[in-house]
Amino acid sequence: MWLLVPELLRLGAWDLLKGWTGESDIDLGPRIALQMVNESSLCINRIRRKSSLGHQGFELVNGMGRLITDEQAHLLMSGHTMEQARELLVNLGIQRQLSGHYTGEIIAIDPHRIISSSKRVMAKKRKDPGTPSQKMVQTFFAVCAKTGQPIMATMASTGMTTSKATSGLLNSICRIIKWNSLLLADKEHFTHELFKWAKHHRDFGILTPALNTTRIQTIIRDLFYKPLWAGYAIAETMFKFKDHDGSYRLIAQRSGETQNSYVYNAFLTTSEKDARELVCENYDQRWTVEEFFRFENDMGLNRASTLNLNIRYARMALAMIAQAATYQLREKLKGNYKTWNAQHLANEVLAWADGDIRTEGDTIIVTFYGPQKHLNISNYVNLPELLENEGINPRIPWLYDFKLDFRFK
């Protein structure tokens, strides 16, 4: 876990946590939050039950002499509102944007529904069309399609509509991303409200599949199609939502070799890009958001024991800080780290290493024993000097202004 400390410094995580808790360097609140960030990095829920970790330096990396209790974590998170967690995520997104975590001009957005074990009476929804309705918490994510890194997330109960929740997500994205971008979404976002939002915010275009309704099929079957290659052709027309003003581009695609085998689909967009580029090149990049869920779920994005949204939103925000720090760590690893999910990274790099911790003057020395096949040692030896060269203060505020250095034997 000590390998994450320099990444948390580079990310400005301590200042983010102090801003969220409203406390200072010497207070307990930010340290409680930091332990939960590090729990997420290890992909272990309720790490406080694992007393053995209290003898392996885990409590020290959080700047404490012991592990926090469940009650302390609960009280901290329940004492902060959803709006405060949203501001924490916006500030994190701004810091990540400045750190170069987002490149390109395409953003994938998607709901991510987490099955909940809450005892409350609540509306049930289907996670997949073929499964029964269940209690769940709705989360909504925006991910950079180029790097696969999350830009912003929001949360709601199952009573909130997709359009309403996504509008809040998009308003937060506007505070983080300051360049023209294309939003890629699924059929759930084929709504007048979201297209009206995109038309008003001209820096953002949106592209979604159109619902396969009788009205849509009637429109696209009568269009004149331009063949692009054997068995594939596209066409274009203008489309209005029923009982609403405002026209949008409807791009239709036809697959099949003969008239009897034709299959028709359509996309709706506010973008002015070429139709072929939109549907044949850009839209496939939406799947990066599914890859994000698959790789990072174990950090706490796949479980929800309560419907207290103050607690759930805070927990998600802290997990997102952990994900940002581990992403920076991945970038420094050797080998095929991009195929590792969060659990694999935790097991291979962050946990169960042989070593010791001691102090020399104003510096904490962490020594690793045995081969470290995944690490570029040059990134960690003489760490204070490396951080200073990056313009970062090497003194770690949650470790009482000690510096950190590493040895490998």
Residue 43 phi/psi, 5° resolution?
Answer: 60, 35
If you write DSSP's letter for every residue of 67-84 in order, what string do you get?
Answer: PPPHHHHHHHHHTS-HHH
pLDDT confidence tier of residue 158, bands split at 50, 70 and 90 = confident
User: 219 with 161, same domain?
Assistant: yes
What distance in Å separates the CA atoms of residue 209 and residue 190, rounded to the nearest whole number? 7
Express each pLDDT in 201-254 by its tens digit.
988 999 999 999 999 999 999 999 999 999 999 999 999 999 898 999 999 999
What distance in Å separates the CA atoms of residue 394 and residue 397, rounded to the nearest whole number? 9
User: 107 with 222, same domain?
Assistant: yes
44 belongs to a structural domain: yes
User: 201 with 92, same domain?
Assistant: yes
Q: Give per-residue burial for 169-179: e unless 16+ CB within 10 Å, then b.
A: bbebbeebbee
Express each pLDDT in 16-69 by its tens digit.
999 999 999 999 999 999 999 999 999 887 654 455 565 567 888 999 988 888
User: 126 with 165, same domain?
Assistant: yes
Half-sphere exposure of 278 (CA within 13 A, CB side): 28
Contact by Cβ (8 Å): 82, 309: yes
User: 159 with 108, same domain?
Assistant: yes
Half-sphere exposure of 307 (CA within 13 A, CB side): 19
pLDDT confidence tier of residue 141, bands split at 50, 70 and 90 = very high
Express each pLDDT in 277-317 by its tens digit.
999 999 999 999 999 998 998 898 776 666 788 988 999 99
209 belongs to a structural domain: yes
Q: At which of 239, 260, 294 does a domain end?
A: 294
249 belongs to a structural domain: yes
What distance in Å separates the CA atoms of residue 146 and residue 104, rounded to the nearest whole number? 6
User: 246 with 181, same domain?
Assistant: yes
Q: What domain count does the chain have?
A: 2
Q: At which of 240, 261, 294 does a domain end?
A: 294
User: 18 with 167, same domain?
Assistant: no
265 belongs to a structural domain: yes
User: 145 with 166, same domain?
Assistant: yes
**Domain that includes residue 382, residue range:** 2-79+308-408
If you write DSSP's letter for every residue of 86-106 in order, what string do you get?
Answer: HHHHHHHHHHHHHTT---SSE
What distance in Å separates the CA atoms of residue 240 and residue 252, rounded to the nearest whole number? 15
pLDDT confidence tier of residue 397, bands split at 50, 70 and 90 = very high
User: 100 with 228, same domain?
Assistant: yes
299 belongs to a structural domain: no
User: 61 with 169, same domain?
Assistant: no
Q: For residue 120, what is the domain's CATH number?
A: 3.90.350.10
Nearest to residue 177, comparing CAs of 140, 141, 139, 144?
144
Q: At which of 243, 269, 294 does a domain end?
A: 294
Express each pLDDT in 374-392 by its tens digit.
899 999 999 999 999 999 9
User: 235 with 330, same domain?
Assistant: no
282 belongs to a structural domain: yes
Rounded to the nearest integer, the mean pLDDT of the chain is: 90
Helix axes 309-330, 13-21, angle to 10 degrees: 170
303 belongs to a structural domain: no
300 belongs to a structural domain: no
Contact by Cβ (8 Å): 399, 390: no
Nearest to residue 82, comparing CAs of 168, 162, 161?
168
User: 341 with 212, same domain?
Assistant: no
Contact by Cβ (8 Å): 14, 5: no
What distance in Å separates the CA atoms of residue 269 and residue 278, rounded to the nearest whole number? 9
DSSP state of 224: P
Which pLDDT score, from 0 to 100, does residue 264 have? 96
pTM for the full predicted model: 0.92
